[in-house]
Structure 1
Amino acid sequence: MAALACALSLSLAPTAAFAQEAAIYSSMDAVHPVWAREAMVSVQEAVAAEVGLQVMKDGGNAVDAAVAVALALAVTLPRAGNLGGGGFMLVHDAKSGETKAIDYREMAPASATRDMYLDAEGNADSQLSRYSGLAVGVPGTVAGMKLALDTYGTMTLAQAAAPAIRLAEDGITVTADLADSLKALEKRLKASPASTSIFFKEDGSFYEPGDVLKQPDLAATLKKIAAEGPDGFYKGEVAERISAAVADAGGAMSLEDLAGYKAVIRDPVKGSYRGYDIVSMPPPSSGGTHIIQILNVMEGYPIGFLGHNSSDTIHLMAEAMKRAYADRSDYLGDPDFVDVPVAALTSKAYAEKIREGISLNRATPSASIKPGDLAPYESDQTTHFSIVDKDGNAVSNTYTLNFSYGSGITAAGTGVLLNNEMDDFSAKPGVPNAYGLIGGDANAVEPRKRPLSSMSPTIVLKDGKPYLVTGSPGGSRIITTTLQVISNMIDHGMNVAEATYASRIHHQWLPDEIRVEKGGLSRDTVAALEEKGHTISVNSVMGSTQSIHVDAESGLLLGASDPRRTGSATVGY
């Protein structure tokens, strides 16, 4: 290890860059996490966070709280919280010691075809896959929440839905964050008369901070779900209105598509990193597979010794990231339709093979990197929450409409915004989606197939018990954002707040660039990376992690909400 570290760093003497970065990160000594003794909720929206905490104070467990939070977010964070989308939930059951994955990802309608997004010349038409009725996948959230409650919860769906119903009926106070997002998405939302009637005043003007926004149609839909279970959403009047809205927008989602939707429980993908167990989402999410793959590669290098966000550390992370995203383009898809080589991708032997192709001092051009020869940008408006209860049960949940406010289409009379998740399929193999991610045949459109995702709800275990519960929105950057929170704590000894606040980097193979947050790296570090052959792209912030650290020594829960987005909250008791 020492010899390798010396090879990576020409000198251990402090440089100007090192001194500057040390000064930046020493300021994080003042960054302290929220702490609690019994239970904790970390959510991107404060009102929903309090809903989850109250559920546990009233005797509910982490899964009860998770369902209540998910339904509440459909009211309080409409750009990402949803009934008309889908996602993934990871549940750790303290009594059995088992962790399971609930897949409630959207599905393609039965009418979907491989070439449905190609124009007459055979080119991918993003308008069809993003903004038309053809963009809408069969929603999974309602079925997923019911499956979670039935399997791990103690409350009824009616009990879990009660706070969301109250918020939709009585109204929520519009925050600056909500007001800004509605102004930013005015054009898309006003293309749908039903969306216009909900999210803008009668005269078409904007809701301003402090105004009260009521959503009576959404309240009525939530009441149907509370009374009838998933049938209140997937059958009857609500289903008919969803089907009609999709048809009116040029798509085809039948009542049979809706009635036939099923959420499923899957075994999570598992790996290890420096003595910790990493448990995350399996396909059709690519997140868990590639988090473990990248960590496996990093484990062969003295990352802690090299230092947080040093040029050497970033170089090695980027080289591992680009190879994982290359593999993602070829191998990942819905495991019910394609054979995904998860065991091979997450093996330590494969990581060793990858390291053999990484130069310690020179970037490998992405054009020369192909998916591995194995033997046997998701929307920024996704949202994540983490929950731990007094008994040690833990939930990590990420769900989405895809773009902010999804397709922008609301099914009239339901208050339900519809997703545009079909864009996460490969409209045409080799053509990037909205976030620059390349896909292949494994993620081609097929009837009733689930599109590939980057969502990465993750639980890190130590000695079989939760150590870190985390995840993030961020599209293609979800994987690398979640990865860096894990590395920051394990490799660099940061507390959960420091790990959350620290600046982030991202490489997704194509385009061939390291994306860095503005102000995140010193000029000397950027220069050192460029000297190694990397192209640096400075962009806006990445991700919005919601994380809880279970400290075994003190018995405390320590949590942090990402400051990169306003309105989030970590609360506990």
Structure 2
Amino acid sequence: MLRAATLVALCVSVPFRADAQILTQGERFAPVHAEKQMVVSQEAQASEVGLTILREGGNAVDAAVAVGFALAVTLPRAGNIGGGGFMVVHMAQSGENAAIDYREMAPVAADRDMFLDEAGEASSEKSRRSGLAVGVPGTVAGLLLAHERYGSGKLTRTEVMAPAIALARDGFVVSPELAAELRIEDVRVRLAEDEEGRALFYPNDGEPPAAGDVLTLPTLAATLEAIAGNGPAAFYEGDVAKAIVDSVNGRGGRMSLEDLAAYEPIVREPVMGTFKGYEVVSMPPPSSGGVHLVQILNVLEPTHFGTFGLNSADMIHAMAEAEKYAYADRAVYLGDPDFVHVPVEALISKDYAAEIAAKIDPVKATPSSEIAANPANLPVESNETTHYSIVDAEGNAVSNTYTLNFSFGVGFGAKGAGFLLNNELDDFSAKPGVPNAYGLIGGEANAVEPRKRPLSSMTPTILLKDGKVSLVTGSPGGSRIITTVLQVILNATVHERNIATATAAPRVHHQWQPDYIRIEEGISHDTIRLLEEKGYDVRIQPAMGAAQSIQVGPDGTLTGASDPRRPGGLAIGD
């Protein structure tokens, strides 16, 4: 294993692998190239850890586990062991596709009205800032299950966790991004008023570290060492579990030691679809991502893309109308499949997509008020997250998205254990029909219940071509995750852009309610005018998502891109 000092030295001057190439017409950005294996994540030091594991004989899953634990150290706003997420795996030799659900769960004492105030209205303070907001974390159990079931068998749990432990114990280089985030007033107030947050990130008389400083997190290192030595029990039982419960309940929560001991990740069947000769492998409920990604792709598949330029008014119109119907369905049908029936096969059927496509006016926007999910129309069934993508030399692939929900989660940590906790239970419908922090409206299917997993938009996705990996992608971004992944896929496939250009292209988003198109800077004013003439309310708003993607060419060579919207990421490979 690389020693911590070596890791730090590597990360001060990270090699940027980009072979010289001539960009084709329409390309503006050059991807990173590799011959056999690649890691792309939102934080450079974590990407280096993943590549180190691959070089030592680990497979894509071993590397994914190592990256997940490393990001818990180096990207604390989203990387975590106090949150949860979703992993999609493709195993080349067996052809198996698997979806690992390690989403947080509501404690047994949770109830559907726990986020309401005395007047019966949804309280954002309760669902986002208090102990009630914290779900039972799933990251540790999920990553270790992935390693046990799909790892190469060549590297032990201790070996794949060693780089993260070294970074926490011996120090990691504070990136300019992390230094700036810790100086944001809201973050500073939330973290510095918590004993654990202050000890972790404001160790110098209440001052955060500067960019380039080496920050050590000894209490987190001790927790990671315990997990490496004793497995999930070191987190879900004993001192760490007690620290979680004490911190949550000290802030008004309802978590018990039994809630932690009973947590289990679930291996589910992925959502599977087809699009233009590709097989789409994505995350099933309780993520809405895979269902609605496939649904939108199905609606768009008959589109004559040759006449629709990337980010043309006609292309944006086609995407926006398909997205409206998908997000309307999301509000009604989607929830934890262990608690409610989610009509997945009906929602992703080509017949249902054809019904939606027939309703779309090719030249005019349909007001969202005229779009509503209708169960009778379904055919009968026969802000703060991070993503990373990995492909190894054997053709195995991992697409992993995990989160604390808000930046730095709920804003307080497990005392003495070295990590922050999530506020993921805000993703439940605090009150059916009332929007959450991302403006998403939820219904009864996503109401709070004991041991239920809240609905998510995370969309880790793998595209296969002739049974082999063609594209691995995913993104953070709350409600915009689904549409970010959609556009990376469309840009790389039907628009035939290299993965760097496909990633960097300006993005658009429509989520049914509120009824407007959100667009990034870079869409031409002429296009905006044409969209307004079609009846859209168009609003330019901040950048969306931070996709981390790998594309595999027909000859097996890899190209990767870390989204420039959030600096500090790295695509690197051999």
Match of 1:88 in 2: 86
Rounded Cα–Cα distance in structure 2 between residues aligned with 1:161 and 1:142: 11
Give the aligned residue type for 1:485.
V
Match of 1:556 in 2: 557
Q: 1:78 aligns with which of 64, 76, 79?
A: 76
1:26 CA drift (Å):
8.0
Rounded Cα–Cα distance in structure 2 between residues aligned with 1:231 and 1:119: 36
- After superposition, the C-alpha distances for 1:208-244 in whole angstroms (9 at most, x for unaligned) are 1122211010000001101110000000010011100
Rounded Cα–Cα distance in structure 2 between residues aligned with 1:555 and 1:317: 31
Rounded Cα–Cα distance in structure 1 between residues aligned with 2:131 and 2:58: 38
| Residues 33-52 of structure 1: pairs in structure 2 closer than 5 A | 33-52=31-50
CA contact (8 A) 2:37 2:558 kept: yes
Matched residue of 1:120: which SS? coil
1:30 CA drift (Å):
4.3
Match of 2:233 in 1: 231
Rounded Cα–Cα distance in structure 2 between residues aligned with 1:105 and 1:346: 22
- After superposition, the C-alpha distances for 1:486-530 in whole angstroms (9 at most, x for unaligned) are 001111111111101111100000110000002x21111100000
C-alpha spacing 1:162/1:125, structure 2 compared with 1 (3 Å): same
Match of 1:174 in 2: 174
Rounded Cα–Cα distance in structure 1 between residues aligned with 2:374 and 2:312: 28
CA contact (8 A) 1:191 1:408 kept: no
Number of aligned residue pairs: 544
Matched residue of 1:395: which SS? strand
C-alpha spacing 1:27/1:78, structure 2 compared with 1 (3 Å): farther
Rounded Cα–Cα distance in structure 2 between residues aligned with 1:114 and 1:524: 47
Give the aligned residue type for 1:565.
R
CA contact (8 A) 2:27 2:498 kept: no
Q: 1:480 aligns with which of 476, 480, 483?
A: 483
Q: 2:333 aligns with which of 331, 334, 348?
A: 331
| Residues 215-226 of structure 1: pairs in structure 2 closer than 5 A | 215-226=217-228
Q: 1:457 aligns with which of 444, 455, 460?
A: 460
Rounded Cα–Cα distance in structure 1 between residues aligned with 2:207 and 2:26: 42
| Residues 291-310 of structure 1: pairs in structure 2 closer than 5 A | 291-310=293-312
Rounded Cα–Cα distance in structure 1 between residues aligned with 2:323 and 2:156: 42
Matched residue of 2:274: which SS? strand
1:372 CA drift (Å):
3.5
1:202 CA drift (Å):
3.3
CA contact (8 A) 2:433 2:443 kept: yes
Match of 1:10 in 2: none
Matched residue of 2:293: which SS? helix
Rounded Cα–Cα distance in structure 1 between residues aligned with 2:44 and 2:31: 16
Rounded Cα–Cα distance in structure 1 between residues aligned with 2:26 and 2:64: 30
Q: Output the aligned Cα RMSD.
A: 1.1
1:29 CA drift (Å):
2.7
Match of 2:360 in 1: 358
1:304 CA drift (Å):
3.3
| Residues 76-225 of structure 1: pairs in structure 2 closer than 5 A | 76-153=74-151, 154=153, 155-184=155-184, 185-225=187-227
Match of 1:409 in 2: 412
CA contact (8 A) 2:36 2:556 kept: no
Q: 4+ runs of 1 displaced by more than 3 Å? A: 25-28
Rounded Cα–Cα distance in structure 2 between residues aligned with 1:375 and 1:41: 40
TM-score normalized by the length of structure 1: 0.94
Give the aligned residue type for 1:301.
T
CA contact (8 A) 1:62 1:389 kept: yes
1:190 CA drift (Å):
1.7
Rounded Cα–Cα distance in structure 1 between residues aligned with 2:247 and 2:557: 48
Rounded Cα–Cα distance in structure 2 between residues aligned with 1:306 and 1:372: 30
Give the aligned residue type for 2:174.
V
- After superposition, the C-alpha distances for 1:173-221 in whole angstroms (9 at most, x for unaligned) are 1111001111111011123111011101331112111222110100000
Rounded Cα–Cα distance in structure 1 between residues aligned with 2:25 and 2:245: 53
Q: 1:543 aligns with which of 531, 542, 545?
A: 545
Gaps of 5+ in 2: 1-22
Rounded Cα–Cα distance in structure 2 between residues aligned with 1:201 and 1:237: 23
Matched residue of 2:182: which SS? helix
- After superposition, the C-alpha distances for 1:403-439 in whole angstroms (9 at most, x for unaligned) are 0000011111101210000000000000000000000
